[in-house]
Structure 1
Amino acid sequence: MNRKYILAAPVILAAGMAAAEETVSYASYGGAYQEGVRKAILDHLPEDHGMTVVDYVLAGGIRDIRSKVRANAVDIDVAELYGGLCDLAAKEGLIEELDYSQIPNASGIPEHLRNTHWVGFTAYSTVLAYNTDVYGDNPPKNWADFFDTENFPGLRAISAQSPATNMEIALMADGVDKADVYPVDMDRAMAKWQELLPDIAVMWSSGAQATQLATSEEVDMIAIWAARIDAAIDEGAPYAYTLQDGVMDVECLVVPKNSPNPEGAMKLINHLLDPEYQARLPEFIPYGPMNQDAFEQGLVSPEDAANIVTSSENLEKQLITDMPWWADHQTEAQTKWDSIMLQ
């Protein structure tokens, strides 16, 4: 389905509708991801909380929110946006301030992911993956090794989508501690990428393409989303990866300006952050709970937590993208990125 907004009412359980006391709308990016959120969380709300959720697909992300707000035609109560778009939406006045007195479950979200206008929901990480047949007992262990073509020869692949994440990777490869990555030294990052450019065989443009690069063993090392390399490994690709210095981008929840049901929106966000519901997410989608109470309360087993990018232990290994910084510098960074990587 390729309509801009897709009303998902047919998937609401009839029994749930009968018991529901209010209806709240939720918009995300569709596909298997949104279906997983429904199975893990939304389908349980009619019976558990008397709330029926109608979901839409945001085909254009923030562009859809922007057009609806400017046209005074908002029909969405809660929307999910990618990383830096959350801060951008706040700067443009497109979203409401959150009422945390109505969102007690937000207490389990890391403090730096609780903003006045958005709150972290799930996350995905870009990691260093490598072909185990190629590197054997001496695999690359960090981004410095990814850039070290003398000791770790082979073809590389990276995302072509944005300078965000890529610039952070280059700085850590150049010796910058992840605690000191921000503010990003864009010129230093691009100089580092320019060094590696001859060894970059592919700049992938979609998660599906990245997975295919691994399953076909077309490259020896790849900067790839953890969920995508997991999928390749499940298909038999001889790859492994490290979460050390992975770059995590956070999906956030927002309430569009003039939401039809702002009180219901706050309730829905609270339910979406419920640690019991969040703990179910990995059963349906390769994204972990952002609410740390899901781990601390034992709702996720230690064995499962070890493989989830958002577990407390794995969070410590990674760099979390500074969304406010990228909201202010995306245009300048894109220009610098394009001038070197697209030459």
Structure 2
Amino acid sequence: MIHPTRKFLLPLAAVAALSLAACSSGAAPDGGAGDGGSLVFASYGSAYQDAQNEAFLTPWAKEAGVTVQNDGPTSYPKIQQMVDSGNTIWDVVDTEPYFPVANCGTLVEEIDFSGIDTSNYPEGTWSDCSIPIAQYSTMMIYNTETFSGAAAPTTPADFFDLEKFPGTRMVPGWAGAGALEFALLADGVAPADLYPLDTDRAYAKLDTIRDSLTFWNTSSESQQAMEDGSADLWLAWSGRGYEAENNGAKIAPVWEDNLLAWASLSIVKGTKNLENAQSFIEFAAQAEPQARFAELQPYAPADLSAQPELDELQQKWNVADEAVQRQSIVTNVQWWADNSADAETEWTAWSTS
């Protein structure tokens, strides 16, 4: 059983993916006149950050007259370095949701919520030092060439039922990505009683399928496995499910007890552009730019009043759908902020044994 330790550790797979040295990422937004000062935005690069530019940064920069520079990838050690040295060069950063909870007031600034309407956000998705801009789910996905119709799995318990649903299972390869929660739900723990996580019980449940279990360490690995059909059941991110099916994968989502997570924006402690950073946070918190981002990337708006124009497949994987939200469980970011270091140590010991 994990006991709170007030430690924060980035999940191992994420550590491997992030570089300590920042480099230019994403296209520079158009339209900033420059007379309103500047802002440096750090995120994860590629099409994801390009979409953030189109949906959030470009229209805000044009409206505010601010010159925006992109940087990245997001690196927690880099943020620590900046703050410790008193040389904060990033102003706003995209992070996992429990980073600002664990480091509020130390590595990231408190946000002024007087100009932000949180009434349409799922409960628990914002904190004193962060706002959600998009949401996704860690969820069960099954191979429709293995299971179909009435014989398809529908619950977390089915994921662990090797007799009724034989085959290979694939789950994230680190503790903080949902496998522990999913194991407890499958073992009969009620969503309301999920936290604090009984990790001993979770590992005992995972042991029942250990010989049929493989791990993905990057989300692209999970997507490729769905497209290849190299597993029968996955615990994976909704966005990767959408991308895989869009590329022809024979898969289907299972929404019962999906684990809701989200992308967060925070202001880096010691920013020299606090006013612009706050202004950008307020803009990104709104429904309209979040709707546009959802149209460009396989994420749902965090603001549930947003109305993106989605095609049929996007809607199929839309975690903001009311029916999906009723079946969602919001990840307890405070528990993970307090316990991630010990949880990752336990996971490594179990997964490599």
Judge same fold: TM > 0.5, yes or no. yes
Deviation (angstroms), 1:55: 1.8
In structure 2, distance between residues paired with 1:305 and 1:131: 19
Among candidates 75, 99, 104, match of residue 85 of structure 1: 99
* Aligned match of 1:328: 338
How many angstroms apart in 2 are the aligned matches of 1:197 and 1:67? 39
2:147 matched residue in structure 1: 135
What does residue 215 of structure 2 align with?
203
Shift of 1:24: 1.9
**Contact 1:20 1:47 (C-alpha < 8 Å) held by counterparts:** no
Structure (1/2) with the larger helix percentage: 1
CA distance in 1, matches of 2:35, 2:120: 27
Match for 1:331: what amino acid?
A
Aligned residue in 2 for 1:58: 73
Letter of the structure 2 residue corresponding to residue 235 of structure 1: N
Please give the secondary structure, in 2, of the residue aligned with 1:24: strand
After superposition, the Cα gap between the structure-2 partners of 1:160 and 1:323, relative to the gap in structure 1 and judged at 3 Å, is: same
Question: Of residues 195, 212, 217 in structure 2, which corresponds to 1:182?
Answer: 195
Give the Cα separation in 2 of the matches to 1:111 and 1:209. 31
TM superposition shift of 1:9: 9.0
> Any idea what SS the aligned residue of 1:203 has?
strand
> C-alpha distance in 2, partners of 1:233/1:302?
13
Aligned to 2:120: 108
Q: SS where residue 279 of structure 1 aligns?
A: helix
1:267 aligns with 2:284: no
**Aligned residue type for 1:173:** A
User: Does the CA-based 8 Å contact 2:56-2:284 persist in structure 1?
Assistant: yes
1:328 partner amino acid:
D
Residue 47 in structure 1 maps to residue 57 in structure 2 = no
- Structure 1 segments of 4+ aligned residues over 6 angstroms from their partners: none
> 1:3 Cα shift?
8.5
Question: Shift of the alpha carbon at 1:305?
Answer: 5.2
Gaps of 5+ in 1: none
| Contact 1:157–1:223, Cα closer than 8 Å, also in 2 | yes
Deviations 1:291-325 (A, max 9, x none): 12214xxx557966563113443222111111110
Amino acid at match of 2:188: G
After alignment, is 29-38 or 81-90 more displaced?
Answer: 81-90
The amino acid of 1:31's aligned partner reads S
- Give the letter aligned to residue 4 of structure 1: A
Matches within 5 A, 1:140-155: 140-155=153-168
CA positional deviation for 1:12: 3.2
Q: 1:104 to 1:305 in 2, by over 3 A?
A: farther
After TM superposition, the structure 1 = structure 2 runs for residues 114-125 of structure 1, keeping only pairs within 5 Å, are 114-125=126-137
Taking the aligned partners of 1:33 and 1:10, their CA distance within structure 2 comes to 11
Assess, with a 3 A threshold, how the Cα gap between structure 1 residues 10 and 139 changes in structure 2: closer, same or farther. closer
> Cα distance, 1:70 vs. partner?
0.5
Q: Which residue of 2 aligns with 1:313?
A: 323
Aligned to 2:264: 252
Equivalent pair of 2:25/2:46 in contact (CA under 8 Å): no
Question: Taking structure 1 as reference, are residues 135 and 305 closer, same or farther at Cα in structure 2, changes over 3 Å only?
Answer: closer
The alignment's TM-score, normalised by the length of structure 1, stands at 0.90
CA distance in 1, matches of 2:126, 2:32: 32
Provide the aligned C-alpha RMSD in A. 2.3
- Work out the CA distance in 1 between the residues paired with 2:133 and 2:270: 22
Aligned-partner residue type, residue 95 of structure 2: L
Deviation at 1:161, TM superposition (A): 2.7
